[in-house]
Structure formats: C-alpha cells, structure tokens
C-alpha cells in the first residue's frame, strides 16, 4: 500500500533477528508473514495444539498508518483467541458514523455499526496496527509450540503434493525448511504468490489519497466522520480518532498528481489547517499517499499452499474491509486445517475454505468498489448521479440509503456453503445456516464466549451422548447457559426442542425444531467435509 | 412477478414532454445532467421495484430493434 512516510519514523518494536536453525525438522505448518493475519492464524492453530513456525522478513514491528478500524467480528475472533480484551482496552470504541456535505455542520446521514445492542464487543474500535501486532505477538509468546522467526525471508518455494520446501535467507546464511502445509500471509506483494507464478484479477484505481496522522488536542466524539466536497482542499475527507491522541485523516487528492510534492509536510499542512483553522497546533506523526486496488486471486488454495489476507485479495480502504476480510480468512482456515491435521476431516475440507473465503473476498471487493465509485465518480454522468443523491438527501429521506461513503465491514454470510445443512423446517427468524452466531448476554458472561474451539450444540434439550470422533460440546439453554434476559431465546427463535449446530468458527451449520442425534451427526459430518 | 409497463400509460403527452424540456431551462450541461439524475432517482424510488428499474435501464441502454 503506502510507501514510507515523509515524517521520519522508527519501528514500534524491534526484535533481535532470530538465529538460523542448526538443524531443521519438517514442520506441520509453516506461515510466511507475521502480520496480523499470519499471527492470528498462528495463534488459532497454536492454541489448538499444533506446531507452527512463522517466518517474518523484517525483524521489527514497523510504525505506520495502516489498518486502524477493527470490526466487531474481528473483535469476537480475537476475544476467542484471548487478545480481545487488550485490544478493546487500548482502542477507541466507536459505533456511530456521520456523513457531511460541504460546509453544512448538520450531517446528511448518520449510521450505527452496532444496531443490535447487548453484545460483548462494540461495532468498531480504532487501534493502530502496530499495537494490534504487538498484542498478538505477546499472546503468541505464551505458546511454546509456536515459533516466530524475525529476519527470516522466504526466497524459494518447491511445492509438492505432500508439502513444501521453502528456502530461507537470514543474516547468518540460508537454510531450507520443509512443511506439510504452507500458509502465505505475506501481504499484497506476496513472494509466495510470485514464486508460484500466480496473480490477481480485478480493478486498479487511479485516485490518490493522502493519509495524515497528526497528534493534537481537540475534543471530538469518537465517531467516524466523512465529508463529500469539504470546505477545505480535497474532494472528500475522512476523520478517525485513534489512541494516544492521534487523529487519522484521509484526503482525496485526485488523479495525475505529483505524489512527491503532495506528500511534503508543507503541502500537507494546508489540509489540516483548512479543517481546523490557521492557528491549530499539531504534531505530524505520519504522512503518505496511497492508491488502491480491488482484486483477488482466482483460487486461494493451491495444493498444500493456502493464501490468506492481502496475499489473496485487495480492497480499497473505504469500509475497513482489508484486514477485517483477512482475519475472516484466518478464522475460516484454522479450524479446518486443525481437523485435517488431526485426521478428523479429509483434505478436501479446505476446498470449503477456498469457496467461503472467495465469497467473503467477492463481497468485500464488491462493496469496496461501489463505495469507491461513489466517492470518486469516473465520468460526468456518474458525478451527476452522485451529486444528485447528495442534493436530494438534504431534504428527502428516501435518497439517504444511496449515500455511500464506505459500507463498513460486517460478517459475511455463506447461505450456499456446502458445509451447511439447509433448513428442513420453516423459520422466520433466528440465525440461519451459514450465518455467524449472534452474541447475547447470559448469566456470568456472554454467549459467544461459550462457543468456539470445537463444534457446539446449542439446544433447549439436554444432550445425548453422540458417537463419532469430531469433538462437540453440548450447551443446554436453561442448564449450561442461563438466559436471564431472554435474549438468547429471542435471537435464536428458541422454542422447546430448538437445537443449533455451530461450527468452531461460530458460524451456524444447521438447526432444527427438535433434538435428533441422527440429524445432528449427519449435519456434523457435512460440516466436517464428509457428507453422508 | 411485475414487468415494466411498455403500453401507453399516460395522457397529455405534450404537456408532460414540455415539462420535461422546461425542467432544463437556464441550466448548463452539468446542471442538466444532475437534474436528470435527480429525476431518475425520484422516479426509481417511487416505482420501488428493482426488477422494473433494471428492465428500464436495459431498454434505455439498448438500440432500436426494428
């Protein structure tokens, strides 16, 4: 994404370069890339007991203005992995977004990213990516079976049907590592993708955006604010509050600009002064310019090599679907690879990762592209339509849903997934197969906190002992789960007998109006890649 | 399943036509484009049926058949 900043930067946390191993045994899982997706995947698989080696080219966590908006789904995933609390404690919580046009201080539109209240996690937090990486790293340090190697760069790849051999460069010399599975979490310039001769397909956009992170003392609510045609330079502007008194601004600069000039501090400052007045005092933290793409690989699974995060797909940042899309990959992949490695599921289960991750990427690309087209119209007719929406929206509510300053990331649903068992009965509410479980307050905590790691049966009935080797936990509403506020019953449309089968990634696989062990086992086999 | 109505469904065609033309009085091209876009959005919302709107778009975009 962005080149280095014109404000001098350091690294957030430096590590000693990891030594070159003296001997190197074959490992079950090798992850290339210790960014947020690589580390989240390592954490999930590590907690499930697997030996994981993670290679990172750099020997530091760099600073920089990269991802900052982490969605509720991301926070739920991180909570399951034990880091959610730390992320929320440091982060700036926000749910409300406002959209302005021109100089009018009244917003044209306001939205709430947590329409369903009473859930543990908020709609969004803002947190600098380097803090998220630091906290993930700290959590990984607790797992002796996960080894993170700093300053180890993958330089060659031999992919075979039974695994991979990766050549690695270090400051102390080169070595080779063999692995059963390789997860390529090495970002948009993925070397693994390059080594395999694979590429992205999709659109590249030409508009330039200026990122300016500045530190100053202003009191504003913790809300996402977006301006179309603001009364200061730039065709649009976005403002986010971050921890440590840092504010993130994105200013739309347009096509065909001189990037080197535009990013000089003396050319950035007019934007900030335009917003806050000529006398505002602020400290620059980071300035850079970015363009973006909305593209993906055709396939994410190539034999024993699996792509996750930016290495597989790219989006424009409006809507915060980049990392939030990548962590969905991590979560979708980890439980499946876990079962495959334990011999509890066939390798073909990973084809469902390919399918579901592509559904997620396509939804993220579609939404990001459409937001980009609204924010940066490509021709006169498109601009006329965009401005028509804004003008009508001032006086007429019907036009407001057209306003697109970015459709913020929400969890993707998989109604067509082959892992689902379609409803046999008629449901008008509740959570459908292929949809993520909804959180609810329960006595002693939260519903989602009781799920995850294995399959779960959520039922009003007591469980019978099930045969089969896929680990399943039984949660009885009214026994294990005390639904004091009745929100579990409401959100899941519970009646006596209602039973849900939920996947280890907290997605619903099946549901019934009665508890039937045979139906459950059949649905479990389907969700585990062995349909009967 | 509703279909776009392509039969004669208005009266006073000359009056409506004149109103559509005079909607652009005094406007430059960019302003006209925007006003036409606003009219499209107003009417599309009134129709309220995405399928009908898409069918209208398809016909608007296509060339005469005969």
Summarised one tens digit per residue, pLDDT across range B10-31 is 999 999 999 999 999 999 999 9
Residues of A in contact with B36 (CB under 8 A): 384
User: In a 3-state reduction of DSSP, which class is residue A259?
Assistant: helix
φ, ψ dihedrals at A212, nearest 5°: -130, 115
Write down the pLDDT at residue A4.
Answer: 52
- The pLDDT score that the predictor gives to residue B1 is 60
Which tokens hold the place of B49? 């049926």
Flag whether pLDDT at A1 surpasses 70: no
pLDDT at residue A468, rounded to an integer: 85
Average pLDDT across chain B, whole number: 96
Q: Which of residues 343-402 of A touch B (CB under 8 A)?
A: 380-381, 384-385, 387-389, 391-392, 398-399, 402
Residue B52 in contact with partner chain A when CB distance is under 8 A: no
State how far the Cα of A518 lies from the Cα of A522, in Å rounded to an integer. 6
Q: Mean per-residue pLDDT for A12-29?
A: 92
For A330-371, write each residue's pLDDT tens digit. Answer: 999 999 999 999 999 999 999 999 999 999 999 999 999 999
CA distance A428 to A425: 10
* pLDDT tier for residue A3 given thresholds of 50, 70 and 90: very low
CA distance A412 to A332: 11
- Please say whether the dihedral angle defined by the alpha carbons of residues A482, A484, A489 and A494, taken in this order, is positive or negative: positive
The tens digit of pLDDT for each residue in A284-336 reads: 999 999 888 899 999 999 999 999 999 999 998 889 999 999 999 999 999 99
Least confident residue range of A44-58, A95-109, A193-207, A320-334: A193-207
Out of B33, B38, B40, closest to residue A391 by CB: B38
Look at residues A331, A393, A402 and name the one whose alpha carbon lies nearest to residue A373: A402
Q: How far apart are CA A270 and CA A123, in angstroms?
A: 33
Nearest C-alpha of chain B: how many angstroms from A436? 28
Q: What is the DSSP string of B35-64?
A: HHHHHHHHHHHHH--HHHHHHHHHHHHSPP
Rounded CA separation A71/A439 (Å): 14
pLDDT tens-digit map of A130-188: 999 999 999 999 999 999 999 999 999 999 999 999 999 999 999 999 999 999 999 99
Q: Return the structure tokens found at A319.
A: 């809507």
Neighbours of A281 (CB within 10 A): 8
What are the chain B neighbours of A392 within 8 Å (beta carbons)? Answer: 38, 41-42
Tokens representing A143 are: 């797992």
Cβ of A384 within 8 Å of Cβ of B37? The answer is yes
* Distant-in-sequence contacts of A260-268, Cβ < 8 A, 24+ apart: A262/A208, A262/A210, A262/A289, A263/A6, A263/A210, A263/A287, A263/A288, A263/A289, A264/A6, A265/A6, A265/A7, A268/A6, A268/A210, A268/A212
Tell me the nearest-neighbour CA distance from B38 into chain A, angstroms.
5
CA distance B43 to chain A (A): 11
| Residue A237 host element (H or E) | strand A236-241
Q: What is the pLDDT of residues B42-55, one digit of tens each?
A: 999 999 999 999 99
How large is the angle between the packed helices A380-395 and B29-47, nearest 10 degrees? 60
Q: What is the number of other CB atoms lying within 10 angstroms of the CB of residue A396?
A: 13
SS3 at position A98: strand
- Record: contact B41-A389, CB cut-off 8 A: yes
For residue A228, the distance in angstroms to the closest alpha carbon of chain B comes to: 16
Q: What is the mean pLDDT of chain A?
A: 94
Q: CA-CA distance, A79 to A87, in Å (whole number)?
A: 9
User: For residues A147 and A18, what is the distance between their CA atoms, to the nearest angstrom?
Assistant: 10
Nearest to A304 by CA among A337, A276, A273, A262: A337
Measured distance CA(A454)–CA(A339) in Å, rounded: 10
Read off the pLDDT of residues A106-136 as tens digits, 9 standing for 90 and up: 999 999 999 899 999 999 999 999 999 999 9
User: Distance between CA atoms of A6 and A269, rounded to whole angstroms?
Assistant: 12
* ipTM metric: 0.96
Q: What b-and-e string marks burial along A163-193, b requiring 16 or more CB atoms within 10 Å of the CB?
A: bbbbebbbeeeebebbbbbbbbbbbbebbbb
Closest CA to A36 of A105, A129, A120, A172: A129
Among A385, A399, A401, A402, most B C-beta atoms within 10 A, so best to mutate, is: A385
Residue A223 burial class via C-beta count within 10 angstroms: exposed 0-12, middle 13-18, buried 19 and up: middle
Query: Cα A107 from chain centroid?
Result: 28
**Are the CB atoms for A425 and A497 separated by under 8 Å?**
no
The pLDDT tens digits for A512-527 are 999 999 999 999 999 9
Q: Structure pTM?
A: 0.95
Paired tokens of A107: 């917003």
Residue A5 in this model has a pLDDT that exceeds 70:
no
Q: What is the largest CA-CA distance in chain A?
A: 72
CA–CA dist A473, A453 (Å, integer): 10
């Amino acid at each position: 994404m962005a080149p280095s900043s014109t404000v001098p930067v350091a690294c957030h946390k430096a590590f000693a370069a990891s030594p070159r191993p003296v001997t190197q045994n074959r490992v079950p899982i090798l992850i290339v890339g210790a960014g947020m997706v690589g580390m989240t995947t390592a954490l999930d698989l590590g907690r499930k007991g697997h030996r994981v080696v993670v290679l990172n080219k750099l020997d530091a966590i760099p600073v920089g203005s990269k991802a900052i908006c982490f969605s509720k789904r991301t926070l739920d995933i991180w909570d399951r992995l034990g880091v959610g609390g730390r992320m929320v404690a440091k982060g700036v919580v926000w749910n409300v977004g406002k959209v302005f046009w021109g100089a009018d201080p009244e917003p044209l539109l306001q939205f709430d990213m947590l329409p369903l209240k009473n859930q543990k996690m908020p709609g969004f937090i803002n947190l600098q990516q380097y803090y998220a990486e630091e906290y993930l790293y700290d959590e990984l340090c607790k797992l002796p079976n996960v080894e993170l190697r700093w300053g180890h760069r993958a330089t060659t790849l031999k992919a075979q049907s039974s695994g991979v051999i990766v050549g690695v460069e270090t400051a102390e010399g080169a070595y080779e590592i063999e692995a059963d599975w390789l997860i390529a979490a090495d970002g948009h310039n993925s070397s693994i993708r390059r080594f395999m001769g694979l590429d992205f397909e999709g659109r590249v956009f030409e508009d330039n955006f200026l990122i300016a992170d500045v530190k100053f003392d202003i009191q504003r609510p913790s809300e996402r604010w977006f301006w179309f045609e603001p009364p200061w330079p730039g065709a649009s502007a976005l403002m986010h509050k971050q921890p440590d008194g840092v504010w993130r601004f994105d200013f739309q600069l347009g096509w065909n600009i001189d990037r080197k000039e535009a990013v000089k501090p003396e050319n950035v400052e007019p934007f900030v002064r335009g917003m806050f007045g000529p006398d505002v005092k602020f400290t620059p933290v980071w300035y850079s310019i970015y363009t973006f793409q909305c593209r993906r690989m055709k396939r994410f699974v190539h034999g024993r090599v699996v792509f996750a995060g930016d290495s597989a797909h790219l989006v424009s940042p409006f809507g915060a679907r980049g990392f939030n899309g990548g962590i969905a990959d991590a979560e979708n992949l980890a439980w499946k690879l876990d079962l495959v490695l334990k011999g509890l599921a066939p390798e073909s289960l990973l084809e469902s990762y390919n399918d579901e991750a592509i559904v997620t990427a396509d939804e993220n690309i579609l939404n990001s592209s459409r937001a980009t087209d609204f924010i940066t119209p490509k021709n006169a007719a498109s601009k006329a339509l965009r401005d028509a929406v804004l003008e009508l929206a001032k006086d007429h509510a019907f036009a407001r849903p057209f306003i697109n300053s970015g459709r913020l990331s929400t969890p993707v649903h998989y109604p067509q997934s082959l892992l689902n068992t379609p409803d046999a009965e008629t449901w008008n509410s509740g959570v459908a197969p292929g949809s993520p479980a909804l959180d609810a307050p329960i006595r002693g905590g939260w519903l989602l906190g009781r799920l995850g790691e294995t399959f779960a049966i959520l039922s009003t009935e007591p469980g019978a002992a099930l045969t089969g080797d896929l680990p399943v936990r039984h949660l009885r509403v009214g026994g294990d789960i005390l639904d004091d506020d009745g929100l579990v019953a409401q959100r899941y449309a519970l009646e006596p007998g209602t039973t849900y089968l939920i996947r280890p990634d907290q997605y619903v696989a099946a549901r019934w109006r009665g508890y039937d062990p045979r139906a459950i086992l059949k649905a479990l086999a389907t969700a585990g890649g062995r349909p009967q | 399943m509703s279909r776009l109505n392509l039969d004669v469904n208005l009266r006073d065609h000359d009056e409506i036509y004149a109103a559509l033309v005079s909607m652009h009085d005094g406007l430059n091209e960019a302003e006209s484009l925007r006003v036409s876009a606003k009219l499209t959005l107003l009417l599309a919302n009134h129709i309220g049926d995405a399928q009908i709107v898409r069918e209208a778009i398809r016909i608007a975009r296509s060339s005469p058949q005969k």
